[in-house]
Structure 1
Amino acid sequence: MKAAVQGLLGALAIAAILGTTAEAGPLEDGIDAYHEKAYAKAVELWRPLAEAGNAPAQYLLGSLYVEGNGVEHDDATAFMWFQRAANQGDAAAQYNVGASYAGGRGVEKSYVDAAKWFRRAADQGVVFAQLNLGLLYAAGNGVPQDNVEALKWLELAFFALPASGARSDVARAMTDVTAKMTREQIGEAQQRQRAWKAQPEVK
């Protein structure tokens, strides 16, 4: 399974933002415009907010550049907006920065940087960041190869995902990893999971 399922998480994160109830204002007016497929209007409303430092607007504007809705598709510009939001702690943006680095979209490919940003998002509970971080540890891409750490993150993602094709893919990845592990190593991975769950969210 390839790392950096950027499009899927982008869609899920946008759905989460669009599904929330919020006070009236340009951000929410842009969300209404997005629902109505008035993408140019959404860009018009979100861009000033993004330029003023509003992290949700930065993330949403970046997502439009990925989709090519209301603006011309531009991975480099999308990455710029994701990076700005990620630097403010936006978890979905942190994931997308990691995915951009992993796929070399809008920025030079770097598994080291991908792992760094996936970890930040994973520590905030972003399931696909946990999945991709686990895959990087399993392959030794951007991080030292570590089956214990790989299984920790893959299992965290597996139990957070609903029953779906993605969950089946994670199960296969877990099977591949555990086939190379001792019983003691599997126990260590499960202990690390419990320790991670006991911690407060890391922003």
Structure 2
Amino acid sequence: MSMKRIWGVMAAGTILGLASPLLADVKKGVDAWQQGDYGKAVTEWQPLAQAGDPDAQFNMGQAYKLGRGVKADPATAINWYRKAAAQGHSRAEDNLGLLMFQQGDRAGALPYLQHAADRGEPRAQYIVGTAMFNGDLTAKNWVRAYALMTRASDSGLAQATTSLRQMDKFIPQDQRNDGIALARSMAQKAMQGSDEPRQEMPVSRETPKPLRTAALPPSRPAETPSAPVAAPTPKAAPAPAPAPRVATAKPSAPKVETPSAANGGGWRVQIGAFSAEARARTLWSQLSGKVKGLSGYQPYILTAGGVTRLQAGPLASGADAAKLCGAIKAAGAECMPKKM
């Protein structure tokens, strides 16, 4: 896997989200950002970030990463991400690892990427899975590599699907079966809200070997999303959002489809991943009664690689998806906006 293609995968992810807690000034900055007034947003966040607010620090990292409202400066972005991550800001840690890797500090990035992969970040799963397949920067572990790449592929990361097919040519069937079982276990733990245990293996920070470029095949460059803002990360559980616009009539049962049959436009929210379809249906029934407006959307049940994912939609925009996810998270479930 070449560094250029790994960076393409990173650029295609949801790295553009901003944290919007209840703190008024931080929220004012997010509102200004969404309106395209990046300079005002930075002005709102700067003093709060310097005072130690982790959401403002994360947002400052985003501004310096993207070069909006300030001159693009990866080193300064990394510094802000690191400050927020030290306070337990998981999205800052995810972005910290990805940006450090992109800037060439692959050994230093790996611990953060491992944590991000454990939390279910597809780009981190893709990178860590590649490293573990090759045995670069960390011990070779084909079972775990296959599991992480399976999880990244199931999330819709096209490069991971391509790499998974290439892995099939090298990894024995029994290890692939173990990897699929591990991927199901990871998905189950993610839905239960418990983090998968962190990897304990040591990571070399001295003279690391580069990721080999011949082990995995080329993949199509991913498109960079145009939307600058993804789902917010509030400090506390938000109040249920107002009822979203009804897109379709309430169905009698969730629609089951394969990834190739999925709606190709608009937005959806992904509510979870399961080892059994029945669990997806049960969760949909429970949430439909708890989350105001959710029953007005079409549920989708998609099965690939032995993992069943529950989605709802379609939604008109990333902002609508973020609002719906906020209400779903307030009801105690996982949720992630997805551009289809």
TM-score category by the smaller chain? 0.7 to 0.9
In structure 2, the residue matched to 1:141 is 136
Q: Tell me the alpha carbon deviations over residues 102-150 of structure 1, each in whole angstroms, 9 at most, x when there is no partner.
A: 222xxxx332322211111122222222222212222323212222221
In structure 2, the residue matched to 1:43 is 42
> Structure 2 counterpart of 1:68, which letter?
G
List gaps (5 residues or longer) in structure 1: 162-166
Distance 1:46 1:7, change over 3 A: farther
Partners of 1:144 and 1:3 in 2: CA distance: 20
How many residue pairs are counted as aligned between the two chains?
Answer: 189
Deviation at 1:195, TM superposition (A): 2.8
Partners of 1:179 and 1:13 in 2: CA distance: 32
Partners of 2:54 and 2:139 in 1: CA distance: 32
Partners of 2:48 and 2:11 in 1: CA distance: 23
Does residue 177 (structure 1) correspond to residue 163 (structure 2)? The answer is no
Partners of 1:173 and 1:91 in 2: CA distance: 27
Q: 2:12 aligns with which of 2, 8, 11?
A: 8
Q: 2:117 aligns with which of 94, 111, 122?
A: 122
Q: Tell me the alpha carbon deviations over residues 12-32 of structure 1, each in whole angstroms, 9 at most, x when there is no partner.
A: 2434x47x7x64601110011
> Structure 2 counterpart of 1:60, which letter?
N
Q: Which has the higher helix share?
A: 1
8 A Cα contact 2:61 2:79, kept in partner: yes
Structure 1 range deviating more: 123-132 or 184-193? 123-132
Superposed, 1:1-203 pairs within 5 Å as 1=1, 2-4=5-7, 5-9=9-13, 12-15=14-17, 17=18, 23=22, 25-104=24-103, 109-161=104-156, 167-199=157-189, 200-201=194-195
8 A Cα contact 1:102 1:114, kept in partner: yes
Q: Which has the higher strand share?
A: 2
8 A Cα contact 2:78 2:100, kept in partner: no
CA RMSD of aligned residues (A): 2.2
TM-score (norm 1): 0.82
| SS at structure 1 position matched to 2:36 | coil
8 A Cα contact 1:58 1:82, kept in partner: yes
List gaps (5 residues or longer) in structure 2: 199-340
Q: Which structure has the higher relative contact order (CA within 8 Å, separation 6+)?
A: 2
Partners of 2:155 and 2:118 in 1: CA distance: 13
| SS at structure 1 position matched to 2:16 | helix
8 A Cα contact 1:114 1:142, kept in partner: no
Partners of 1:124 and 1:169 in 2: CA distance: 19
Partners of 1:55 and 1:125 in 2: CA distance: 21
Deviation at 1:89, TM superposition (A): 2.7
8 A Cα contact 2:129 2:149, kept in partner: yes
Deviation at 1:91, TM superposition (A): 2.6
Partners of 1:97 and 1:141 in 2: CA distance: 20
Deviation at 1:197, TM superposition (A): 2.9
> Structure 1 counterpart of 2:124, which letter?
A
TM-score (norm 2): 0.51
Partners of 2:12 and 2:80 in 1: CA distance: 18
Partners of 1:53 and 1:6 in 2: CA distance: 28
Q: Tell me the alpha carbon deviations over residues 71-120 of structure 1, each in whole angstroms, 9 at most, x when there is no partner.
A: 1111110010111122223232222221222222xxxx332322211111
> Structure 1 counterpart of 2:96, which letter?
V
8 A Cα contact 1:62 1:79, kept in partner: yes
